[in-house]
Amino acid sequence: MRSKLLIALALVLLGSTAVMAQVALTNITDSSFVLPPKVVIDASQDSDKLFANATDYNLFFAPGESNDTLYIFTYTYSNESSNLLLIKRAIDASTLKAKGDDVKINLPIKSKRGVLVQPDIGYISFLYIRDDGEGTPDQLYLSILPLSADSNTQLTAKDVKLSNNTSTNISFSDLGGWLQNGYFIIPFLGGDKSNGTEKAIYLQGVNASDGSLLFPSAVKVVEFNNPPGTPLPIAGPNKSPNASSIHIVYKINDTGTIFQTSVSLRDGKVDEPTKLANDTDTKTYYPVAIIATNTTFGIVLDRLKETQNQTKDTLLVYFNGTTSKPHKLNVSLPTGYSAPVSQALNHRDGFILLTKFHLDQANSYVMQMFSNDGSVLIPQKTLAYTPSSALLQFFTDYSRALWLGYSDYDDSTDLITKAYLGKVLE
């Protein structure tokens, strides 16, 4: 789906409305994995009883602080008690078996609409919205916990305010954060609560160890007036690790223009935006992903071309931003599929591009690996076919190996029946 509704940080997803219960199954292409997925949670087993109420959208997988450990966890949030209950299990990365006992962690977090959870190497962040009292505007907050936490561990950062909102008609939505040089980098979108209009992009960073802010106040990257349904902006570092700036790519709806700008991590200075692409009568462009390897930076756009009542998607990458002509990525659409959504991940030898294609009530996931100049290192291969509502979680571990976590679940309740982990690429 190319569009989205801007709502005030959609933190808790709604369950399926199917009348008859049916287990939603993901079909995996085992030959595309170096370690085919194995069951790591079986909700019917007494040994996994702490995960009995886990749903497909609140079960998460995370890299460990070393090569030999991965994590799986689920959470529930109570608005009445302002408490987040986190269930954590450590997994041996070689055997995919549990290491030690499952851990229950209670975290005091006050939120208006639930919590958005995002793990990374070493830490897990919790993003949420609340106001500062009756009649006050919404503010965006972040708390951080080390992944090594046990039941007695305190948050390393608690209730860190990211926004400086002065209007009760404005709220915020997440644009996907990441851990960079010890900081959680958080780009976020401000929008009008009354009509969903997108108003501005902001950027802030939080030190994972002590909760200090990267900038004295959130940087306002750009202001605009985009209606609901405008493609979401994307953000990413200029390289990984040791980035000196963060790149933001966004579309202005009125002109159909995609712009790129960057924010200095040293002082928060925003560069003058430059144009990447402009819609025409037959071509429409969408921001897709940002590539950030040790040596390469790139912006991936989807170009949708309409000719003779047919449409064709082409993924284009602008290496080093606007300083180069777009390079066509050789990604092929499976027959009958459309609407590619991609995710770029760093790897030791270049970058991985994961792309989801949509067909009616199903999705197809493919992977390719490219060198830093865009040449193909690993040809396209299909990883999975899923129901359209299924959530596949790709992540890289401490050594940059690529993993996939996913669940089978009851589509009438969203409760998982089994959860799986598999290694896609060493």
Establish if 174 belongs to a structural domain: yes
Instruction: Return the pLDDT at 245.
Output: 95
Residue 220: CB atoms within 10 Å: 15
Establish if 17 belongs to a structural domain: no
Establish if 344 belongs to a structural domain: yes
What mean pLDDT do residues 402-409 have? Answer: 94
Strand partners, 277: 258
Instruction: For 341, list phi and psi in degrees, rounded to 5.
Output: -125, 120
pTM of the model as a whole: 0.90
Contact between 164 and 194 under an 8 Å Cβ cutoff? The reply is: no
Contact between 347 and 354 under an 8 Å Cβ cutoff? The reply is: no
Token pair, residue 320, equals 């080093």
Token pair, residue 162, equals 């990211």
CATH for 184 = 2.130.10.10
Is the bond preceding residue 187 a cis peptide, omega within 30 degrees? Answer: no
Top-confidence residue, 83 or 240:
83
Contact between 318 and 298 under an 8 Å Cβ cutoff? The reply is: yes
Establish if 10 belongs to a structural domain: no
What would the pLDDT profile of 119-169 be if each residue is shown by its tens digit?
Answer: 999 999 999 999 988 899 999 999 999 999 999 999 999 999 999 999 999
The beta strand positions in 5-64, using DSSP E, are 23-24, 27-28, 35-42, 59-63
What mean pLDDT do residues 325-341 have? Answer: 79
Establish if 16 belongs to a structural domain: no
Task: Give the CB-side neighbour count of residue 193, counting CA atoms within 13 A.
Answer: 13
Its domain, for residue 417, covers: 23-425
Residues for the chain: how many in total? 426
Instruction: Return the pLDDT at 382.
Output: 93
Strand partners, 384: 28, 365
Token pair, residue 242, equals 């040791």
Establish if 411 belongs to a structural domain: yes
Judge residue 172's burial from the number of C-beta atoms within 10 Å of its C-beta, 0-12 exposed, 13-18 middle, 19 or more buried: buried
- pLDDT bin (cut points 50, 70, 90) of residue 374 is confident
What would the pLDDT profile of 255-269 be if each residue is shown by its tens digit?
Answer: 999 999 999 999 999
How many domains does the structure of the chain reveal? Answer: 1
Using the Cα atoms of residue 337, residue 340, residue 346 and residue 348 in order, give the sign of their dihedral.
Answer: positive
Establish if 15 belongs to a structural domain: no
77 pLDDT more than 90: yes
| CA–CA distances in Å: residue 113 to residues 120, 131, 164 | 23, 11, 19
Establish if 307 belongs to a structural domain: yes
What would the pLDDT profile of 213-247 be if each residue is shown by its tens digit?
Answer: 999 999 999 999 999 999 999 999 988 778 899 99
| Rounded Cα distance, 219 and 201, in Å | 8
13 pLDDT more than 60: no
- pLDDT bin (cut points 50, 70, 90) of residue 102 is very high
Residue with tokens 């960073």: 205
Strand partners, 287: 301
Instruction: Return the pLDDT at 422.
Output: 97
Top-confidence residue, 357 or 39:
39
Residues 6+ apart with CB under 8 A from 66: 398
Instruction: Return the pLDDT at 198.
Output: 97
